[in-house]
Each structure stands twice: as C-alpha cells, then as structure tokens.
Amino acid sequence: MRFAVSLLTVLGIASIIGTVLKQNEPYTNYIIQFGQFWFEVFEVLGLYDVYHSVWFLLILLFLVISTSLCVYRNSPNMLREMRVWREHATEKSLRAFSHQHEYQANGTPDEIRAGLTRFLTARGFRFKTLQHENGDELIAAKAGTYQRLGYIFTHTAIVVICIGGLIDGNVPFKVQELLGYKTVEVRDIAASEVPAESRLSTANLSFRGNMTLPEGTSADVAFMRMRDGYLVQELPFRVALKDFRIEHYATGQPKSFESDLVITDPDLAEPLEATISVNKPLIYKGIAIYQSDFQDGGSNLDFNLWGLFSNQVAPLSVLGTIHQEVTLGEGDAALIIEFDDFRKFNILNLTADGKGKPHNVGPNVTFKVRDTQGQAREYVTYMQPLKLDERFYFVSGMRPALQEEFKYLRIPVDENFEIEGFMRLRAAMMDSAAHVEIARRLTASSLSADADNDDMKGKFESSVTQLLRAFAEGGYTRIAALIEDSVPEDQRDNAAQTYIKIISSAAFEAHNLARERAGQSPAVADEETLFFLQDSLNSLSDLFFYGAPFYLELKEYEHREASGLQLTRSPGKNLVYSGSVLLVLGIFAMIYIRERRIWLLVKSDNRVLFAMSSNRKNRDLDMEFARYQEQLQRLLT
C-alpha cells in the first residue's frame, strides 16, 4: 500500500512535468530551450513524451498488478462480510459497543418480537433471529451491505480502465522497438519509400495517426509522430478528399469545418461517400476518421513583384504555389521565395483601443525570403488594404526570426485604392536622374522669379538634389546621420525641421512628376494628398528596414485547401467505458450506501439490549443511533 502510494505520487509528479514541459515538440526546439547537455539528460529520462516513456508505463503496469492483487485478496472477504449476519455476537460483546442501550420492555414476548421486526423492516433492515438455549432471542439485522461492492467495483474499474488504456497505448510498438523489429523514421521522404521497419501493418491493433489531404487527392497511409521522427500506418482502405469547406458566422468567425470524403475499399461494392466535421467523425472498419485541422493544400497565387530600390515603374509578374518555392536572380544575389501559407479569411481586431469588433480583413500570404547563405526572413502580406487609424494601407509584416514579433510596413493606397500611386512616387524618389528635375521644379515653385537670385537658386537646387539622394539611399535615418555629420549640435533641430519640410515639398513635386509621366493630371495640394505624401515618405523610409528588395503584391489566387484528418483505432475504448461505468457505480455505492448492523437481544425477563455498529464510525451513525434509541424507547415502554 505504502509502495503503491509512493508510485502514485511519482506518477502525479511525472504528469505535472508532462503538462509544464510541452510534449512531443520537434527535438530542435528542446535543444534551443535547454542546451545540448540538459537536452540529452531529459531525453534519456524520456521527458519529451513522459506518458509513453518506458518507466511511466512500467509504473502504471505495476499499479495495475498490485491493484488486481488487492482486489483478488480482499474480494472474498468483502463478499463474505456482505453475506454474514454476525448472529453469534455474545451479550458481553454487545455490551462493549460504544452505541448500545438497554430497555425494560412492556408487553408479551410475542408483541415485543413483532414490534421489533416491524421496526427493522420499516427502516430497510434485513434480519435473522437466533434462539439461545437460555431462552434469550437475538435478532441480528443489517442494511446497506452493498456498500462493500463499492470497493470491489471501484478497484476493478481502475484495473479495467488501465488495461484499456494500455491496449490503446503504443505498448506493442514499444516492445517491437526494444526487440529491434521496428524503428522510428527520421528522414523526410515520401511515404512509399519508408522502409518496412518503420511501417505498421493494417493488423496493428490500435493507433492514432494523422493524414493531410489536399482537395482532390487521396491516401492509404497515416503518419504517427513519434519522438524526433514518425511511423507510417497502413490503412485497410483509401481515403480521398473531394472538398473541404469552412463556414463562417456573420461576424466572420468560423462556424464549421467539413470534409467530403470518399472511401474506396475492395470490400465495398461502390465507394462510400461521407461528410465529416468537428465532433462528427466517420467510423469505418473500426477506424474512426476525425476532422482535426486544415491547412493550405497548394493554392496558386499570382503576384505583382515591385522592385523597391530601382527606378522601374512597372511590376513583374510572379506565379507562386503554396508549399513550393520560386528563385529570383542568379548567382550570389539569388533569393529564394518559399511560399508557406495562404489564408483566405483573417479575423482581426484593428480598432485602435482593441475594444471594437474583430472582422474579416481578407486573404493573406505567408512566405520566407532566403538568401544564398541560407538566412531567411519571414513575411506576411495582406491582399487587401487594411483600415488603420482611419486610413487604408497595404500591410506587410516582416520578422527576421520565428520567435520574434512581426514588424509591419504600411503602404498608403492611392486615390484608386491601389498600390500604383505609391510605387510611381517611389520610382521617382529612388531615381537619381529624376532628383535633378524634382529639385528644379521645387526651386521654381518656391523661390520667386527674381533674376539676381540665380546663384541662390543654384545652391538651393543642389542642396535639394543632395537631400533627395540621401533620402533615396537610406530614408530618414540617412538624413539624421547627415545632420549629425554636418550641422553643429545647437542648430540640429532647426535643420531637421527644414530638411523634412524640403523633402515633403520635394515629394509633392515628385508625385506630380510621376503622375505626369503616367499621363495623369497633376495632384492638388489638398489634405488628402498631403496625408498620402506623408504616409508615403514614412513608408519609403521604412523600406530600408523591410529586408527584401521587392514587394510582393498578391493580385489573384486560386484557393486549394487541405484537410487534416486524424485516424484512430482504439479497441480498448469499450473496456475504458465499461470501467468508467463500474467506477461511477462503485463511487456512489461507497459514498452513499452506509453499511449498518443492529443487534436486538430480547431477554426472557423482557429486557431488550439494543446495539448498533457501522463499518464507518461517523456522525451519521451517532445521529441515527440517537434517533433509533429514542424511537425504541417509545416502542418498547
């Protein structure tokens, strides 16, 4: 018992570790978290999959055996206790009871006997009468003896549940692995190439595997993640995904995830079609198929690629597919774009104080840009402009590492709600040839036409050109550096204000120059234009932190989803359920049935000795005894 309690405590602590330490993560995450040394220590202890480690299962097995032995040893006693009447209690022993009382009864012995038996029957006691040789009569009564079944039920239940759990656990695989028949596959290879020692046949009793099916594809194997690798579970049928659907509430939150499946099996006359959804699995041949998650199944995406630091106005067209990559450029300058995910619906809360309602902001695409050194940055770009602080922007987030937060680039929309306006302005601002023209126009519009100012005009023009070049080389950061290098400390604030003003005014000229080149009418210097220019300049300055020399604008998409299915076979389930029923019955029996025994010794001189006991001494017994004592008093005298 003591040993069993210690083992239970160990199990409890192990379980707690299992909840604190995330289980079954990729091993690289653990190495980053703990360092190489502790990673190996924890791996030996099996802490990354505590609940399936050998020692955990052994303790569980031991507990099952010890509980079974306990039930085996004690049950016969318990059952005997239930049956016996204890009618051989002597007067002396009854008088030694803590709950006993003696009465001097009135009436004939028959009347007394009749009264007492009626008293017992009305209170649910069964009894047996024993005639003593000296003329005394002992009535031995009992009630609630089924309480003892509670013990047998609960303990048997625990054994049954654990056996069910062990059957559904991966014990058979563990044994085969120890014997060297099976190994975990760690290579990233196609399912069909996985060797036999990492495949589990359809005869495998119990498993819990996953399968990701893009729409229009099918598979007849499931994968089981195990430690740092996986196993392939063969299925006795083939599952095809016809269609995957997400339905939404009016507010945009997802309402249901559904997959239309087609099962093909030589045993079936014709394919079985079924729709599964969360909470509504399909069970076929003892294998339950669950809707577990979803992801992109290889959507085709059509992008405009805008070079950010060139003077080129028109975009390039780039086609991408999720889970595939595209290489831009050649040699050392080549960049690989890895398209990771496309999401058609994104529910975001964009209100400034975070208290407004979240709503759907449309599709986004997540991709990585990797250079030839293998360094990658991750990007998330929204297809449609988002409304932030009452204005609309094209938004793209970047992060240099997965554990960091995204930093967002906001590009203001033009009057047509497009990105072109910004991109044309950007082309002009980044074009050193255009800088001269912009400076000339700015000079013409801001300085009066006096002829004697030629010299000053020339100076102003060249300083504007210089400023624009600096901005084109590094945005506001570069301007700040310029000020720090060339302006005395006490004049820097003034200089900064002047420079920013000049750049803003120059941007207006650049904007018009760009519009002119695109064949558009010049812009009016109204509030709307000024906001646009302000946002554009901020955004231009931020381009230098964006990390990619291009912006991918998502134009069109052809959505293709993949459904994540979970397939399980758990023959132990019925055992676990019946064990559970037994457990509940047992607990109620143990707690709510009270075993009580009463002895009434009727002596030949009409004295009646009343004694009462229970296998559990508690307040209920005290109260019940007090009540019966009083009632017997009234009955007998």
Partner 1 sequence: MNNALINDEPIPLLKRLDWQDWLYSIVLLAGAIFAFNQYSHHMDVYEQGFLFGAVATFSWLGWSWKAMRNLVLGVGALSLFAIFVYDADLQRAEQAFFLKYLISSQSAIMWMNVLFILATVTYWVALFNRSQFTGKFASSLVWSAVLMGFVGLMVRWYESYLIAPDVGYIPVSNLYEVFILFCLITALLYLYYEQRYATRQLGGFVMLIISAAVGFILWYIFDREAHTIQPLVPALQSYWMKIHVPANFIGYGAFSLAAMVGIAYLLSARGILASRLPSLDTMDDLMYKAIAVGFAFFTIATILGAMWAAEAWGGYWSWDPKETWALIVWLNYAAWLHLRLVKGMRGPILAWWAVVGLFVTTFAFIGVNMFLSGLHSYGEL
Q: Are strands 300-307 and 316-321 parallel, antiparallel or unpaired?
A: antiparallel
- Say which DSSP state 406 is in: P
What SS3 state is found at 571? coil
- In whole angstroms, give the CA distance from residue 199 to residue 192: 10
Give the footprint of partner 1 on residues 158-197 (CB under 8 A). Answer: 165, 168
For partner 1, give the closer residue by CB, 292 or 443. Answer: 292
For partner 1, give the closer residue by CB, 208 or 441. Answer: 208
Give yes or no for residue 251 binding partner 1 (CB under 8 A).
Answer: yes
For partner 1, give the closer residue by CB, 124 or 329. Answer: 124
Q: Near partner 1 by CB under 8 A, which window of 85-93, 338-346, 524-532, 616-624?
A: 616-624
**Contact code string over 563-592 relative to partner 1, x by CB under 8 A:** ---xxx-x--x--xx--x--xx--xx-xxx
Q: Which residues contact 481 (CB under 8 A, 6 or more apart)?
A: 474
Looking at residue 316, its amino acid is L
What SS3 state is found at 458? helix
Give the footprint of partner 1 on residues 82-111 (CB under 8 A). Answer: 106-107, 111
Q: Closest Cα to residue 18, out of 44, 42, 50, 46?
A: 50
Give yes or no for residue 324 binding partner 1 (CB under 8 A).
Answer: no
CB atoms within 10 A of CB 266: 7
Q: Smallest distance from the beta carbon of 295 to partner 1, in angstroms?
A: 16
- Say which DSSP state 250 is in: T
Q: Near partner 1 by CB under 8 A, which window of 190-198, 260-268, 271-279, 382-390?
A: 271-279
Give yes or no for residue 74 binding partner 1 (CB under 8 A).
Answer: no
Q: Near partner 1 by CB under 8 A, which window of 93-101, 211-219, 398-406, 618-626?
A: 618-626
Using CB atoms within 10 Å of the CB of residue 42, give its burial: 0 to 12 exposed, 13 to 18 middle, 19+ buried: middle
- In whole angstroms, give the CA distance from residue 485 to residue 469: 16
**Matching residue, tokens 């399909």:** 282
Give yes or no for residue 36 binding partner 1 (CB under 8 A).
Answer: no
Q: Smallest distance from the beta carbon of 339 to partner 1, in angstroms?
A: 27
Give yes or no for residue 145 binding partner 1 (CB under 8 A).
Answer: no
Q: Which residues contact 193 (CB under 8 A, 6 or more apart)?
A: none
Give yes or no for residue 277 binding partner 1 (CB under 8 A).
Answer: yes
- In whole angstroms, give the CA distance from residue 600 to residue 89: 11
Q: Smallest distance from the beta carbon of 256 to partner 1, in angstroms?
A: 5
- In whole angstroms, give the CA distance from residue 131 to residue 119: 19
548 forms beta bridges with none
**Contact code string over 548-567 relative to partner 1, x by CB under 8 A:** ------------------xx
Q: Which chain residues interact with partner 1 by CB under 8 A? A: 5, 8, 12, 15-16, 18-20, 22-23, 50-51, 106-107, 111, 115, 118-119, 122-123, 165, 168, 208, 249-251, 253-257, 277-281, 288, 290, 292, 355, 566-568, 570, 573, 576-577, 580, 583-584, 587-588, 590-592, 616-620, 631, 634-636
